[in-house]
Amino acid sequence: MKDEGMDRRDFLRVAAIAGVGMFLGQGEFASANPVCDLNKGIPVRWLGNTGIELPVLSMRLDRPSNQNLLRRAYDAGIRYFDSAYSYQNGRNEEQLGRFFEGKRRDSFYVSTKGMFPYPLRGDFERVMLEKLDISLKRLKIDFLDIYYTHNIQLPEKITHERILRFLQKIKTEGKARFVGFSTDGQDPEIINAAVDSGIYDVGLINYNCRMKELKANEEAIERAVRAGMGIISMHSMEGESRSNDLAGLKWIWQNKNITTVIQGVTNYNDLEECLAVTS
């Protein structure tokens, strides 16, 4: 595809692949969630009961070296940027921190993740708190909008009493406004366990049209949303072609329970193509 994004023929092909003619316009998004002019016309949705409204497209910078790419995303209306303590050995958070510096804190949302080694060690709380403080320093902010447990694979881990106490502690201390879990797995039991815990505000999940147990996962997502949890999708673009990947974004947005998709971006072409299919 051309660097400036898809031409009309490419876009129509993507729409046809996804079967999305019925919701190409913003009207369908607006029927479930309002559209805000602040976000340059990108449809927005509420994130559970957090009171946060996010554009349906969000961003993770996969190569921490391009401030101009971040600026283009921000100027286009993307407001939520995701990172993790371990991404690029901390350079990812540092890159975002340089970009955020000097910007109004209420003009963007940022999350990071901490990997919780399991079984938990005796110094678990101290080590994780130290890592969280390092993340805040790298990001050049005083608090996170969302802090995630990183890549939960076991339901028993998501409900572990010490983990829940730690998450509640960082909320109480103001280090994170909201807490969540992330999982690369496709296990609805993890989502259901998070709901049952009553602690998690947000779930960051692997959700796409090729996943196993799709119906069971969608039922778990629906239950989470009814309980007030916000659901964010990742790993959406893993198809056999770029056209299928972009169509996959449209497929995800059909599910009104998915607030936003965090898309890994490496270059301008990636970003422009993703922006093109939001309109």
Q: Is the pLDDT of residue 174 over 60?
A: yes
The pTM (predicted TM-score) of the whole model is 0.85
- Give residue 143's domain range: 8-276
Name the more confident of 53 and 62: 53
- Is residue 114 within 8 Å of 152, Cβ to Cβ? no
Name the more confident of 211 and 10: 211
Measuring CA to CA, how many Å separate 166 from each of 99, 114, 145, 188, 193?
29, 12, 16, 24, 17
12 in a structural domain: yes
CA distance 86 to 167: 19
Q: How confident is the model at residue 40 (pLDDT cuts 50, 70, 90)?
A: low
CA distance 114 to 261: 20
Look at residues 175, 196, 183, 277 and name the one whose alpha carbon lies nearest to residue 232.
183
Give me the number of domains the chain comprises. 1
Mean pLDDT of 113-139: 95
15 in a structural domain: yes
1 in a structural domain: no
Structural tokens at position 5: 């994004």
156 in a structural domain: yes
As a whole number of angstroms, the longest Cα–Cα distance in the chain is: 59
Q: Is the pLDDT of residue 155 over 60?
A: yes
190 in a structural domain: yes
pLDDT tens digits for 92-112? 999 999 999 999 999 999 999
For residues 30-60, b (16+ Cβ closer than 10 Å) or e, as one string? eeebebbeebeebbbbbbbebebbbbbbbbb
Amino acid identity, position 138: R
CATH number of the domain enclosing 149 = 3.20.20.100
- Sole residue written with tokens 């975002």: 96
Q: What is the pLDDT of residue 239?
A: 57
3 in a structural domain: no
Structural tokens at position 166: 């730690």
Counting every residue written for the chain, the total comes to: 279
Task: Indicate the range of 83-87, 134-138, 152-156, 163-167 predicted with least confidence.
Answer: 152-156
Cβ contacts of 127 within 8 Å, gap of 6 or more: 121
Task: Indicate the range of 1-10, 140-149, 157-166 predicted with least confidence.
Answer: 1-10
pLDDT tens digits for 70-86? 999 999 999 999 999 99
Name the more confident of 232 and 21: 232
CB atoms within 10 A of CB 232: 25
Share above pLDDT 90 across residues of the chain, in percent, rounded to a whole number: 69
Mean predicted lDDT score pLDDT of the chain: 85
83 in a structural domain: yes
For residues 130-167, b (16+ Cβ closer than 10 Å) or e, as one string? ebbeebbebbbbebbbbbbbbbbeebebbbbeebbebb
Q: How confident is the model at residue 138 (pLDDT cuts 50, 70, 90)?
A: very high
2 in a structural domain: no
Look at residues 51, 49, 85, 29 and name the one whose alpha carbon lies nearest to residue 261.
29
Task: Indicate the range of 20-24, 37-41, 216-220, 243-247 predicted with least confidence.
Answer: 20-24
pLDDT tens digits for 186-245? 889 999 999 999 999 999 999 988 888 899 999 999 999 999 999 999 977 665 677 788
Q: What is the pLDDT of residue 33?
A: 37
